[in-house]
Structure 1
C-alpha cells in the first residue's frame, strides 16, 4: 500500500495543479480563438446565420460526445493519458478546419469543429484532475484554481482573431481560417507538456492511497449510465448535475449567438466588428474564469448549494441585460456577457464539486465523464436552436429561451 510517508501527497498535489493550470491556460487560448471565429467562419462558408449556430454547436457537441471516451481513457490509464489524447484529437480537428476553410467545405468544417471540441472536453476534465488528491475542505478551491488558470489564454484568445486573420491571408488561406492554424500549434504544445510533466498521475496515485488497487480491468456495459444513476441518487449530486448542465446550456445558448448578433450592427467595417466581438468575448471569458478562486472559496466556506443559487440568479440577470441590447451596443453586451460568465462559473464549480463528492473514487472518472456528456449535450442543443431562434425572433428571443432553462435548476434546488 502507498503511504503518506512514501509519497509527499501535498507536493504532488501542488505540482499537479501547476501542470494542469499551465495546460488549460495555454489550451484556453486555442479554444477561444476558435470560439470567436468558428461561427463567423461557418456563416462565411455557408452564407447563413443558421449555419453559424450549427458551426459553434458542432464544437460543443464534439466536447460532449468525446467527454465519455476521454474519461474512460483516464479511468483505465490515468489523467495524463486521457488529457493528452484529447488535446491530440483537437490538433487534428484544428487542421481539418483549416483545410475546410481553404476548400470552402461546410461538411468538412463541421467535422473539424467536432474534433476541435476535444480541447474543451479536456479543459473541463482537467478541473476534476485537480480534485483527485485534494482534501475535502479544499476540494472546491483546488478545482477552481484550474478553472481560473484558463483566464490567461481565454482572455487573450479572442483578441488574436484579427492577427490570426492576417496569418491566414499570409498563408494563402481564408482570413478566418488563420485562427485555427494558431490553435493547432497551441494544442500540440499542450499535448506534449501534459504527457511529459503530469507525473505521478494524480488519479492513479489517489487510488493507490485509497488502497483500491486501481481501476477494474474492464468496466461493465452501461458503466456511464450506472455512475450517473449513483450521482442522481445522492441529493447533492443531483443538484450538482443539474447545475452544471443548466449553467453550461444557458452560457452557450447566449454566447455563441453574440458574435452573429453583433455582426448585424451597421456603421462598422468587418475589421472593426471583429475587434469589438473579440473585446466582448474577452470580457465574457474573464467572467467565466477570472473570479474562479473566489467562487471556489464560496463553495467551500458558504456552501455548494448557496453558490449554485447565486449562479442561477446571475444567469437570469445576464439574459435580461444582453437580450435587450441592440447589436451596436458593445458595452451593454459586454456587461451582460460578464454576468453570464460569472453565473456559469458559480454553477460549474459548485456543481462539479457536488458531483465529485457524490460517488466513490473508483467510479469518479466515469461519473464525471457522464456529467460532462450531459452538460455538453445540453449546450449543443442550446447552440443548435440559437441560429433558428435568432432568425425567427432576434437575439432577445435567444436570451429569453436560454433564461427559461434556469427553471429546472430552481425546482431541483427548492426540492432539495
Structure 2
C-alpha cells in the first residue's frame, strides 16, 4: 500500500521546485527555527543531495503513517474494508499532496499528527509499552518540528484516564511513559539548539504576545518606577499607539478590524520602540525579548479581560472565507470536543472511532487556541489538518454505526 500510494502520487503533475518562503533558513540551521526539520534535511543530504529526494522521503513517511493508521483501524474494528477505506480517503485528500513537494515542516508535521492519532488509537485498544512510547514520541517529534506542536500535549493528559479505564492500565503508566518519551525528545532538541546557537534564545511567541498586549483596547498606568527604562517604553505605548488602538477597535466590520489588527501586530511586534527596548535591555542586563515579556505580562495582569478579548478576536479570524466551510469545521470540532470532554468528565465509555474523532477535534481546537493566544500556528489551519478533519468525520460516522447499529463484538 505505501509503495502503491507513492507510485500514484509521483504520476501527478506536481511542482519540481521544492523551495518555498523560508526554505533556505532550514538548510542554514537558522536560529529562528526549531532544529527538528533542519536535522531531518541534514540526514537526507548526507545520503543524497538530489533535490527531489526530500520529497520522496516525506512522501514515503506519510505513506507509512497511512499504513500504520490502516492496520490500527483494522485491529480496533476487525474490518479490513474499513481499515483500507479510511486510510485511502485520508490518502486521497488533495490539499496535502503539495506539502510533500515543499521544503518546509508541513509534510512531516501532518505525518506526525496522523501517527499521534494512530498510536493513540492503538493505546486505546491496548496500552502496551510500544504504543504508549510511540504516542509520546510522535508528540515530541512534532514539538521539535514546530513550537505549535504544543497543542498535542493536551492529548497526553486527556488520553491517560481513558486508557486507564479502557485497558485497566495504571494511570502512572498511561501518563508517564508517553510523557517521558515526549520530554526526552524535546530535551535533546533543546540541548542541541543551545549548543548550536549559544547566544540566542528561541522564543517565537514573544513578539506576537507583546504586540497583542500593546494593542489591547485599554488604558493603563505603568507599574514601574519613574527611573526604570521600561517606564519610558510604557508611556510610548500609551501615547504613540493610542490612535492605532482607536482605529482598530472603532472599526465596526469584523473582517476589516481583523485585517487592521493583523497588519499592526506585524508592524509593532518587532519594530515599535526598538531603540528604547535595546537601551532598556542593556541597562537592566536582560535581552530585548525579556523586556517585551516583562511589559506584556504587566499589561495582562492589569487587564486580563482585554487580553482575552483580543485573543477571541484572533480566534474568530481563523474561521474566515469561505465561511460555510470554515464555520462547518468550527462547529464540527468545537461540538465534538465539548461532547468528548463532557463524556470524559462523566467517565462514560468511548468506542474506538468516537475516540479518534474526539482526539482529532481536540487537536484542531488546541492549534486554534494556541494560534489565537500566541500567534504560533499555520496560516491555513483547515488545509493543513484536512486529513485530521477527514478522520473526525469518519470517526463520528463509524462511532455512531458501531454504537447504535452494529456494536463491535471484539477488538482483536
Bigger Rg, structure 1 or 2? 2
Q: TM-score, normalised by structure 1?
A: 0.28
The structure whose residues are more often helix, as a share, is 1
Q: TM-score, normalised by structure 2?
A: 0.28
Query: Greater relative contact order: 1 or 2 (C-alpha under 8 angstroms, separation 6 or more)?
Result: 1
